[in-house]
Amino acid sequence: MSSIKEKEQQFVHAAETVSKVREEIRSFIVGQEEVIDQVLWSIFSGGHVLLEGLPGLGKTMLIKTVAQCLDLQFSRIQFTPDLMPSDITGTMLLQAEDSGKQGFSFHKGPLFANIVLADEINRATPKTQSALLEAMGEKTVTIMGETKEMEKPFFVLATQNPIDMEGTYPLPEAQLDRFICKVQVRYPSKEELKEIAIRTTGVKTFGLEKIATIKEVQELQKLSKEILVSDEMLNFAVDVVSATHPDSEDATEMVKQYVQFGSGPRGLQSLIQMAKARALCLGRYHVSLGDIKQLALPVLRHRLLLNFEGEATGITADEIITGITNELSGQGVKVK
C-alpha cells in the first residue's frame, strides 16, 4: 500500500512541477500557450520538436526560456548553406601530448548540449541536415569511426520559416519523421502585441527562476512512460494513424482523394508518447480520448504527404487529420 501512495505522490509532485514550469515560462513569454504546452509535452516524452512560424514570433526566445526554467544546457546552431556536418558534431584534432607525441583528440561541437536550437534548419544542405539524423534517432554521433554519446537528456528543437523558401532545402520525409511533433507558432493577438511592446521596450527587466533540474526532467520522462493506456484508447490511436493511408479501410473520403502517403509506425509511437506526457502534465494516470484528439494535429501533420490534387486544391494536412479524428470519435467514445 505504501508503494502505491509513494507512486501517487510522485505523480502529484510531477504535475505540480510542470505547472510551476509552465507558469514561469508564461511570466516571460506572452501568449503562445498552446505552443508552450506542446513543447513541454514533447520534452517530457523525450522527443524532438519542429517549430514553424514567421520571423519575430519568439521561437528562439521560447526555447531559451524553456532551457533556463529546466536548468538544461542550451546550444544554438544557426543553419546556413555553408555549414558543414563537422561544424555541428565536432571533429578530431591533432594535438601534442605530454609525452611529446602527437595524437587525435575529440573536440565537441554545439550539438553536445541538452537542448539544441537548430535555427532555420531548412537553410542547411541535405548533407548537414543528415548529420542530425543519427543524433536525433540514436542519441549518438560517429566521428572518424568513433561513436560518441550525446548529453542526457538530449532534445533538438528546430525552427523553420514557412514563407521565405529561396535558398532553402526542404527537409526530407525521413528527417521530418524524427520529430515527435510539428508545432505551428501563430501570430499574436492585439492584446498580446501590446503586452509584448510593454515588456520589451521599457526599462523593467524580467528574470527567470530555475524550477526543475536535469534529474527532475529525467524523472518526469520516466513517469510519463508509466501512464496507463487502455486497449480502447490504443485502438483509437491505431485507427487514427491507419486512417491516414488512402488504401486503408478506415480512410476518409478526403484521405482517399488528397493523400499520397500516410503516417508510419513512428507516428503511432509519437502519438502515444505525447498523449502519456499530456496526461502526466494534467495530473492524470491514464490517457484519454481528448489527449489523442488534441495531439493528432501536431504529431501527424508533418507525416502526411499530399498528392498533386491535394497540393493544387490547397487543402491542409490539419483539415484532413481533423476530419479523421471527428469521424472516428463520432463512431464511439465520448471525448473527455
Measure the CA–CA gap between 269 and 229, rounded to whole angstroms: 12
- The angle formed by the CA atoms of residues 310, 184 and 140, to the nearest 5 degrees, is 100
Within 10 angstroms of residue 8's Cβ, the number of other Cβ atoms is 11
Q: What is the pLDDT of residue 164?
A: 62
> Mean pLDDT over residues 142-167, rounded?
77
Measure the CA–CA gap between 88 and 93, rounded to whole angstroms: 15
> Mean pLDDT over residues 310-327, rounded?
90
Q: What is the pLDDT of residues 83-106, one digit of tens each?
A: 888 888 877 776 766 666 776 677
Assigned C-alpha cell, 268: 503511432
Mean pLDDT of the chain: 84
pLDDT of 227 higher than 70: yes
CATH number of 2-85+112-219: 3.40.50.300
Q: How confident is the model at residue 167 (pLDDT cuts 50, 70, 90)?
A: low
The domain 227-329 belongs to what CATH superfamily?
Magnesium chelatase subunit I, C-Terminal domain (1.10.8.80)
Q: Indicate the domain borders of the chain.
A: 2-85+112-219, 227-329
pLDDT of 188 higher than 90: no
pLDDT of 183 higher than 60: yes
pLDDT of 165 higher than 70: no
Residue 176, C-beta contacts closer than 8 angstroms, at least 6 positions apart:
50, 182, 302, 303
Assigned C-alpha cell, 85: 556536418
pLDDT of 334 higher than 50: no
Measure the CA–CA gap between 188 and 47, rounded to whole angstroms: 26
Q: What is the C-alpha R_g of the chain?
A: 21
Q: What is the pLDDT of residue 41?
A: 92
Measure the CA–CA gap between 172 and 195, rounded to whole angstroms: 38
Higher pLDDT, 102 or 216: 216
Measure the CA–CA gap between 288 and 116, rounded to whole angstroms: 31
- Output the pTM of the full model: 0.86
Largest CA distance in the chain: 75
> Mean pLDDT over residues 155-172, rounded?
76
Measure the CA–CA gap between 188 and 176, rounded to whole angstroms: 26
Q: What is the pLDDT of residues 5-41, one digit of tens each?
A: 887 888 888 888 888 988 888 888 878 888 889 999 9
Assigned C-alpha cell, 100: 611529446
Minimum mean pLDDT range among 68-72, 123-127, 260-264, 293-297: 123-127
